[in-house]
Amino acid sequence: MLKTYLRTAWRSIISNKTSSIINISGLAVGMAVSFMLLLYVYNEFSFDKFHPNSDRIYQVFKNQPANGVIKTRNYTTQQLASVLEKDIPEVEKTARMSEMMRVLVTYNNKSLRFRSFAVDPSFFDIFNFDAVYGTKKKHLTDESSVVLTQSTAAALFGSLDPVGKTIQYNSFPLKVAAVIRDNPRNSSFDFEVLIPWQAFMNQQPWLKDAGWDNYSYFTYVLFKSGASVQTANLKVKHLIAQYYPPDKDIELFMYQFSRLHLYGNFTNGVSTGGNIEYVRLFLILSISILIVSCINFMNLSTARSEKRAREVGIRKTLGARRSGLVKQFLWEAIALAFIALIIALLLMVLLLPFFNRIMHVVLFFPYGDARFWTLSIAITFFTGALAGSYPALYLSSFKPLKVLKGKINTLGAAIAPRQVLVVLQFTFAICLILGSVFIYKQIFFIANKPVGFSKQGLIELPIEGGLFGKFESFRNDVINSGAGTDAAIISEPITQITGASWANNWPGQLPGEDKISIDCIAATYHFTQTYQLKVIDGRDFDISRPSDTTGVILNEAAVKLMRLKQPIGQTIKWMGANRTVIGVVKDFVWGSPYEPVKPTIIGYVKDWIGNIGIRLNPNMPVSKSLASLERIYKKYNPNYPFEYTFTDEAFDKKFQSEKILGAMAITFTALAIFISCLGLFGLALFSAERRRKELSIRKVLGASVANLWFKLSQEFIKLVIISFFIGSAISWYYIQGWLNTYTYHADISLDIFGLTLIGSLMICLTAVSWQAIKAALVNPVKNLRSE
């Protein structure tokens, strides 16, 4: 019986090639995009869950009151790990981690930089990373050992087994103990080199004496099986107050590591989401696109109900039962769905590289994943059954006698639900159109908001090797070469400032204000000139004035916070020493461009280990400037690779999430418009088929082609206008809420809604005009001959 159903379905598909191709195309595109989105969602939910004990792995966080709010950070003290193992019985193991940034690794005169971290030997007891060479267990107990990832080992040693070979790690010799596989794409870790914690202490011996007030390290915890995390969190909450009373306001808590990727945002000490918001959005989009594709299928299937009605009448006359007809139409729909699935899978293979680029992910087609194939087949079967259910039940309900006499009226029975479905389709498309426009309007608004310094033509590079203590000589070489106009030292790249200071004092300070956290930048001479900050009072650090080594520069927000009416010459306490305010600069954006500018202290710190900012010469080609700078850099660091970042590019990365959202919105908008046009085409086909005799009579009575075109098109214009008002109301509500999450945001302008309406009407008319004009041009005699 099934074979008969499928054979009949195939004949129906062949005899209705145009509508079948449209049906299959709409389903295939919708399924391909929906599956790719589901693949992305699955990948996001799988983050850090490949570790065998992922449900028992937690990371320690601290909540610290500052400026009236609670700030949550994952930086802890190095003493905390051992205290947790000693004082908290629920804890099985702990491991510390310290980021070493990009360090220089040398082997056989080949020097490369890699992302490096220092970890305890217990790190590999908590986390699982497969070894390619050597063993990953117990090797970090040797303070002279090192672990490399597979890509790092290949870059240094090629295809050779590097175990036992010695590398130079920032001039320290370390022996390769193991090579592990690269971090999976669904891992939060991005290390390339791991060194033992003791080696880290040996390289920076001053850190051995760091106390409980040095919050610079990550602490990971493996709980005992069956242990109560809630009970452990109650015990750890006030641990800082017990061991370091000056920081009694700090509260600790442990948060599941595998949840951080999706729920890593904290507000006032409470998790408030994170990437999960985008994942939910993409999941909703995936389901919506699949539903819209099903709607199209239903619309296009009922559009040819007149032809199928006679088939149904004949089958019923010959004894076919309604249940058999329902099965026939359902299997026909399911067959179409599986043809669409095959095409959708091919589209996935072709479109995944494009999808990866706009989403900034690395996803692969899951050829060997049984769950993917099971889910795909299940979704396809369900999609076919859902899409074919309405046509099957509707067509099988026809009375054979009325059908064969041509007295059925499918128009009244089918047009109402079809109109509702088209309205739903276009409402979805209009929501996406408005959403994508306002996302890009917000990005443009923030990206073009003044930042208070010139980020164009500015590069930053780390101070290391021979540059220590020789900055002024390096700066003079840069200026004399003509490659740069100025250079200055800054503690961190200006787009990544994390420094902050407490226990600051200033004249007129109120009780409790000494606990206010103020962000800080360590800098030296030439800072404001190099970064082109606007000095509105006082001056920059001056190398000819020895007293400036105890000076500070404030931004406007800091002056306002301290209520300093005449800030120049005032003495404030910063970093445990009295400092003199020598200048005030206009507020500049170095953190999040979406937040208010924070009070900032710029303090002179001699020989700071940080970064150098170089202002490129605008009158010299960038490539020539960089080549000249590389020669100067190699003069001081012959063995170090010349690596730098453009500040404007680093600043643009702050908009990455919004850009991804915008790119996806535009992509799905185009897809929604395409699918909606198919729906309109189907409805136009259906309407023209049912009204062909009416149109012929009107034409005989003198109606022009334009009149007939308008007669057919006006009902679709009404549907689009209804969709526009529904979609606009929904969009206004959600866009307003989204924009209000930003301190600085673009306005909702009515002109965008007007242009969207005009654009939607044009899309509508484009989709239906061909069918309407075709129906209007048909010879009326052909349609009236049967009367």
pLDDT for position 8: 64
What local confidence, expressed as pLDDT, does residue 314 receive? Answer: 66
Tell me how many degrees the CA angle 402-406-408 measures, rounded to the nearest 5: 60
Res 543: pLDDT: 86
3-state secondary structure of 625: helix
Phi, psi of 187 (to 5 degrees): -115, 140
Q: Which residues contact 202 (CB under 8 A, 6 or more apart)?
A: 143, 172
Q: Residue 719 has what pLDDT?
A: 87
Amino acid at 66: A
Running DSSP on this structure, what letter comes out for residue 502? -
Q: What is the distance between the alpha carbons of residues 112 and 639, in angstroms, rounded to a whole number?
A: 9
Residues of the chain with pLDDT under 50: 411-414, 787
Question: How far apart are the C-alpha atoms of 199 and 218, rounded to whole Å?
Answer: 17
Under 8 Å between Cβ of 145 and 138: no
The reported pLDDT for the residue numbered 6 is 63
Q: What are phi and psi of 657, to 5 degrees?
A: -60, -45
Q: SS3 of 152, please? A: helix
Q: What is the pLDDT of residue 342?
A: 93
3-class secondary structure, 350: helix
Which of 633, 619, 642, 777 lies closest to 703 in space, CA to CA?
A: 777
What was the pLDDT predicted at 762?
Answer: 86
- The angle, 0 to 180 degrees and rounded to 10, between the axes of the packed helices 17-45 and 2-15 is 110
Question: Do β-strands 218-223 and 91-107 pair in parallel, antiparallel, or remain unpaired?
Answer: antiparallel
Q: How far apart are CA 300 and CA 20, in angstroms?
A: 9
Domain boundaries along the sequence of the chain: 54-276, 465-639
Residue type, 572: I
Task: Identify the pLDDT of residue 607.
Answer: 62
